[in-house]
Structure 1
């Protein structure tokens, strides 16, 4: 008896696949997604850091603009009347000490001078306000030369004011502190300077 041998049909179904290629593809896709998310998070963090640094620089420039306004006020023809409520402290009145606290520099409800500080003009670029709010400053007249209260008035180091006033016996020395909260209103920066007004 002869057996008939037939060639295998080309249409025979292949062996059932186990899905290994799909599994490997999904794992690779998962790894790529995690890498992309990590990269986006790093970029977002760097962008926030750069934005905060820029805002701090703008706040510093705003504080320096307020310092210039105070210097202009002190170099005018006549000195303003020293009234602590309006940010002008004579040598016997204590000035604020918490200078980086935003509450120290709060603008009065009607704006202008008040709450122990003075308002400076708003810096502008191409007609747009540079800051969230106007920068502010205060001026403190230093005690007379040789005064017991003259050492370390606000600088935290003794004898500085004595040295300044001894070298300027024909003038008056004023301590100026200026503050700005930056473009966001949250990047407070303060600068301090001493202005000598000739008698």
Structure 2
């Protein structure tokens, strides 16, 4: 026999409806949390990509600066060239973060490579070079220079000069930047 009380509509309390609404609420909260997590991860990956591109641009500028130093005939008259500074006159410390340093003749823009006709960087990487002075190799506390008789700068000896290179690159959106500093030695 059937029990008439369990099937009567007046006695049903909506337990199934309440349970399904609670499960739906929990699933909705999990979905929203998952979307926020995915969105955060996407922003982090974008920022990391921006940083890598900025680093690549700064490294490109460093290589260009090294090539520019290699073609110099001599370090005399160094400060007459755009982006080249005599010892002590180039920006240092927090001064390299000043926007004006990376514009005009204060620094040198690098030619930006293209892919399918589109430039890799929205803003060209830039560099500046400071002449530091004579360079010497040091081994421990002793100098690595070797004195040779009858061998002077007229007979083929060279003088090594040191340069400080500061390079700046920006990422794909132009928001992120990386600034690298390198010391370079060349013999004249």
TM-score scaled by length of structure 2? 0.75
Mean Cα deviation higher: 61-70 or 181-190: 181-190
Query: Are the equivalent residues in 2 in contact too, given 1:89–1:139 (CA < 8 A)?
Result: yes
List gaps (5 residues or longer) in structure 1. Answer: 1-7, 109-113, 146-160
Aligned length in residues? 167
Distance change >3 Å, CA 79–CA 184, structure 1 → 2: farther
Shift of residue 99 of structure 1?
Answer: 5.8
Any conservation in 1 of the 2:133–2:161 contact (CA below 8 Å)? Answer: no
List aligned pairs for 1:98-109, cutoff 5 A: 98=94, 101=97, 103-108=99-104
Deviation at 1:42, TM superposition (A): 0.6
Counterpart of 2:178 (choices 177, 186, 189) is 189
Partner deviation per Cα, 1:77-99 (whole Å, 9 max, x = no partner): 52584337832111252434326
2:117 is the counterpart of 1:117? no
| Cα distance in 2 between the residues matched to 1:190 and 1:92 | 19
Distance 1:102 1:92, change over 3 A: closer
After TM superposition, give the deviation of residue 100 of structure 1 in Å.
5.8
Higher relative contact order (CA 8 A, sep 6+): 2
> Which ranges of structure 2 fall in alignment gaps of 5 or more residues?
146-157
Tell me what 1:14 maps to: 8
State the structure with more CA Rg. 1
TM-score, normalization: structure 1?
Answer: 0.71
Partners of 1:64 and 1:178 within 8 A in 2: yes
Q: CA RMSD in A?
A: 3.0
Structure with the larger helix share: 2
**What per-residue deviation string (whole Å, max 9, x for no partner) do you get for residues 136-190 of structure 1?**
1110000347xxxxxxxxxxxxxxx8859x6587211111111112112122111
1:143 aligns to 2:137 (yes or no)? no
CA shift in 2, pair 1:102/1:124, >3 Å: farther
More strand by share: 2
CA distance in 2, matches of 1:61, 1:124: 14
Q: How far apart in 2 are the matches of 1:88 and 1:61?
A: 22
Tell me which residue corresponds to 1:90.
86
- Matched-pair contact (CA < 8 Å) for 1:65–1:123: no
Q: Which of 70, 78, 84 is residue 73 of structure 2 equivalent to?
A: 78
Structure 1 counterpart of 2:55: 60
Q: CA deviation at 1:50?
A: 1.1
